[in-house]
Chains A and B, each alone.
Chain A
Amino acid sequence: MIQLDYVDRARSPQTLPVICMHCDSPTCAEVCPADAIKRTEDGVVQTARKPRCVACNNCVLACPFGVPKMNTRMNLMMKCDMCYDRTSVGLKPMCASVCPSQALAFGTREEMARLRPKASPVNTFQFGAQTIKTKVNVMVPLEAQDEVLDVTAAMYVSTIGRDLLDDIFAEGEAS
């Protein structure tokens, strides 16, 4: 399933697909009370299994990347599973294969590092006390020299789009 989010809906029609990061310790699966979210052997976190999902929204609330979405009409959580039916047989995911301008591209970590010589792939994230390694990498500028992306710290840095979330957590500690 391709879940699209608007970058800045008021000002731009630009969207971006919410892709699953495929964590080594998937929080969505950890919090699932119905045992519905499973990882395959190659580390791809699957969408909720339909016979088990009880539509409790735990995963939607728990995922640090905000990936799972509740389909209230079907009472089923649906999320990006890297188009497992396609990628497991060597095809590219649907979003990347249909993008006409190659704004969305799918490739290995090495291919991406070659395409972006000024950036390095990072796949370790820090959410407070929780460290998560993901299969999906994020390209970080080389000069930043980040080994770990501290997401909770980045919450206080203003975004490139319009700041919808006013700094409700900032109580003197914001930088």
Chain B
Amino acid sequence: MSHSGHVGNDAVGRSSIPPDRGPVEAQPRWRRDFPVDLSEDDYVSRRDLVKFVVLTSAAFVVGQAWIVFKSTVARVKASYPRQAIAGVDDLPVGGAKTFTYPTGSTPRLLVRTGESSFVAYDQQCTHLQCPVVPAIEHGKLHCPCHNGWFDLHTGAPLAGPPSRALPRVLLEVSDDQVYATGVEESAS
């Protein structure tokens, strides 16, 4: 806030001079609250403050909505080269088998849920990576570590600690062969 060093009769263009051209020290205190020079103007108007608060709050709201969208709706699909996993007749209805897809991945779990319907999920529980085991008679997948349950048909968490769905392996059945074509998982 110091004006000293800037004020002089030849100070045109450096710092504003009071109308009476007196020394800065002799000026009333209120003059400091209404500086003419932009560099000393740190006054935030009510309109600026309200604008800042409203826009910041709106940004938080949008961010929350975005997080909700990402964690519930959004899915990330990754495509890998098609890979044969098993023949249709290798598994009885209700049977399960582990495989890796793409090669080198964590173990995946293939379950035959009907005559021609198959589902495949990542075998790692989304809570703490324990392997899940199929509980086909209940239509669920079970994680024995912390008693977590997943829906067999969607991979969605039903009970227990896990809150995210199991990554799903996209399947394609043709010519009595089950092929994996991609992996779809929650975006969060």
Q: Could you tell me which A residues sit within 8 Å of B by CB distance? A: 22, 24-27, 29-30, 35, 37-44, 46, 51-52, 123, 130-131, 133-135
Secondary structure call for the B interface: loop
Cβ-defined contact, A134 with B36, below 8 A = no
Partner of A25, one of B19, B34, B38, B47: B19
Partner of B47, one of A38, A41, A51, A134: A51
Q: What are 25 A-to-B residue pairs whose CB atoms are below 8 Å?
A: A24-B11, A24-B16, A24-B17, A25-B16, A25-B18, A26-B16, A26-B36, A27-B19, A29-B16, A29-B36, A30-B36, A35-B41, A38-B37, A38-B38, A39-B36, A41-B38, A41-B39, A44-B13, A51-B45, A51-B47, A51-B48, A133-B9, A133-B12, A135-B12, A135-B13
Cβ-defined contact, A41 with B12, below 8 A = no
Report A-chain residues with C-beta under 8 Å of the C-beta of B45: 51-52
Per the bound structure, the CA–CA distance linking A109 and B19 in Å amounts to 25
Number of A-B contacts (CB under 8 A): 55
Cβ-defined contact, A22 with B13, below 8 A = yes
Q: Which of A24, A25, A29 has the most CB of B within 10 A?
A: A24
Whole-angstrom distance between the Cβ of B44 and the nearest chain A Cβ: 11
Interface status of B153 (Cβ within 8 A of chain A):
no
Whole-angstrom distance between the Cβ of A75 and the nearest chain B Cβ: 14
Cβ-defined contact, B13 with A43, below 8 A = yes
Secondary structure call for the A interface: loop
Per the bound structure, the CA–CA distance linking A112 and B130 in Å amounts to 85
B1-49 residues with Cβ-Cβ distance < 8 A to A are 9, 11-14, 16-19, 21, 34, 36-39, 41, 43, 45, 47-48
- Count residues on chain B whose CB falls below 8 Å from chain A CBs: 20
Whole-angstrom distance between the Cβ of B20 and the nearest chain A Cβ: 8
Given A25-B18, A25-B19, A27-B19: A43 in contact with B38 (beta carbons within 8 A): no
Report A-chain residues with C-beta under 8 Å of the C-beta of B11: 24
Given A22-B13, A27-B19: A35 in contact with B43 (beta carbons within 8 A): yes
